[in-house]
Chains A and B, each alone.
Chain A
Amino acid sequence: MKTEVRRTSIRGSSIRTKANLTGWLFISLAVIMIVIFYFYPMLQALLLSFKSGTGMNLDYVGIDNYKRLFSDKTFTTALTNTFIYLIVQVPVMIILALFLSVLLNSRQLKFRGFFRTAIFLPAVTSLVAYSVIFKYLFATDGMINKLFMSIQLIQTPIEWITDPFWAKVTIIIAITWRWTGYNMIFYLSALQNIDQSIYEAARIDGASATRQFFGITIPLLKPIILFTSITSTIGTLQLFDEVVNITQGGPGNATLSISHYIYNLSFKYTSDFGYAATVSYSIVVIIIILAFLQFKLAGDKK
């Protein structure tokens, strides 16, 4: 007995150093690939952002590109648009997804499977495919206007694509349609992990459904809400496929996103990769600030 124990402990310590090495081997491939395909290009983009010129003729221009960024109205427009999407769309979607997941988590509810599948369904479509569908549905003489007019909701067709305000609304509706179900699945999974006895105890104490929701559900889901809001924020800041395929950034840049602007600078106008890289670095800065804020906000309430 005693020798057994001693032997394992010796083996144990040698294992620990060996295990540490084995651990590095396990993660090495992933680390190498992330460095090659994310961090190295980041560094390159930084170098590129100090150059400017057309096509292949790039020269070092110092911080000229960054000065240009601040006087570039198209950039400001793209930035503002992206923030409008962010401020309106992300909260609406997260609240909607939370609400739906709480409803669908109720054991008394009939057809749960059907509702869950139906609401998740949009998440299986490709971004390009659903964008093309939305472009047609929301055309001025498209299905949505026809439908709304036939039920007397509106008298004249809404210019979903060609009016600056409605075009933004269309983009927001589209993203919300595509991603609400996806986020809902995360919440639903998390809800199923909550011990039902907590709710029963609360009910015995006389807490209302609303109290239960804010007192138990929200705090318990906090990590996952934080996670989904960060991924959604990142997703919205990277918005490209929808804008390109539904509105092409128009009318008059009213729906232009930052990614779309970077694409335009690189591939639509006389291409200037240097300045495009400068614009793209601005998103990195914004994302880092936002992620920091989101963590901070979530952390303070703890």
Chain B
Amino acid sequence: MNKLKTTGTYIFLILAAFISIFPFLWMLISATNTSADVTKGKLIPGSYFFDNISNLFSSIDIGTALLNSAKVSITTTLLSLVIASLAGYGFEIYRSKAKDVVFSILLLSMMIPFAAIMIPLFQMFAKLSSVAPAIGIDTLSGVILPTVVTAFLIFFFRQSTKMFPKELLEAGRIDGLSELGLFIRVYAPTMKTTYAAAGIITFMASWNNYLWPLIVLQSPENQTIPMLISQLGSSYSPDYGMIMTAIVISTIPTALVFFFMQKHFVAGMTGSVK
């Protein structure tokens, strides 16, 4: 009975793992084949990978798109880690009734669907364009600004801060650290795993963001990776091998970030969901 159950468990898990991995396998294999082979349903790796790469880099400006996406994601992640952790820390350590009310109002913003505010946001940045063209429409800053702070991340940091040993702060105060000093010297180093997890979530969300960049960015030299992929996918005569290569390249950064920080990610999550 028990053995049967174990076998069942493994079969189920293998199936789940296979379903999860299959599209990746297909993408990787297709990236090494010609467009014609992909359409024929070839499931064996080919030798066309480098041709696909050179086609990709010569026919479209994927380099610029990668650079843009990198700029946007890294800036967003750094800014949002600083701002959200400051806030999460502030809400929990300097807790007061008034701040709790503010916090629950902030949480409401999680309920606001992006589609509901995209048009006013767009108009806001359009107006901004005439005053400060550097951060208005069609700039990477315009993509970054509205996505930097999310209530989710503040919530995440506040939850994690609940587990933070507050005695450390007292000890720090006795050592004569300022309040900001406590945050930087004591809190931030202790919460490394939380930062890692939050960083992964933010980086991925930012790298993959599609709708807002699609609206706010106009010129091709500002294009981000998801916009480029979407455009490739709907082109008149798609080169499947090349598209799959583009997707593989676009997935590498998020995959790398995740795999290098996987341990911290799980640990950071654990802290926040307690």
- Bitwise, A160-191 to B at CB < 8 A (1) or not (0) is 00000000000000000100010001101110
Q: Is the CB of A133 within 8 A of B27?
A: yes
Given A31-B102, A33-B149, do A245 and B233 touch, yes or no (CB 8 Å)? yes
What residues make up the interface of B, taking CB atoms closer than 8 Å to A?
6, 9, 12-13, 16-17, 19-21, 23-24, 26-27, 38, 41, 43, 83-84, 86-87, 89-91, 93-96, 99, 102, 106, 109-121, 123-124, 145-146, 148-149, 151-152, 154, 179, 183, 204, 207-208, 210-211, 215, 225-226, 229-230, 232-234, 240, 243-244, 247, 250-251, 254-255, 258-259, 262, 265-266, 269-270, 272-274
Contact with B along A242-262 (1 / 0, CB 8 A): 001100000000000011001
Q: Which residues of A contact B208 (CB under 8 A)?
A: 125-129
Mask: chain A, 1-41; 1 = CB below 8 Å from B; 0 = not: 00000000000000000011011111101110110011111
Contact A30/B23 with A126-B251, A185-B266 known, Cβ cut-off 8 Å: no
B151, B183, B226: the one within 8 Å of A127 (CB)? B226
**Residues of B contacting A: mostly:** helix
B26 touches A133 (CB 8 A): yes
Bound-state Cα–Cα, A115 to B259, Å: 14
Tally inter-chain residue pairs, CB-CB below 8 A.
Answer: 249
Task: Select from chain B the residue with minimum beta-carbon distance to A235.
Answer: B113
**CA of A1 to CA of B38, assembled, Å:** 81
Query: Interface segment, A62-70, A116-124, A196-204?
Result: A116-124
Q: Which residues of B contact A48 (CB under 8 A)?
A: 119-120
Known: A37-B146, A115-B17, A132-B230. A238 touches B23 (CB 8 A): no
Q: Which of A40, A124, A227, A287 contacts B254 (CB 8 A)?
A: A124
Residue A134 at the chain B interface, CB threshold 8 Å: yes
- 4 extra A-B contacts, CB within 8 A, seeds A29-B83, A281-B116: A34-B106, A42-B120, A48-B120, A124-B255
Tell me whether B41 and A146 are in contact (CB under 8 A).
Answer: yes
Bound form: Cα–Cα A117–B106 in Å: 33
Distance (Å) between the CB of B194 and the closest chain A CB? 12
Taking the complex as formed, is A276 at the interface, i.e. its CB lies under 8 A from any CB of chain B?
A: yes
Of all chain A residues, which has the CB nearest B27? A133
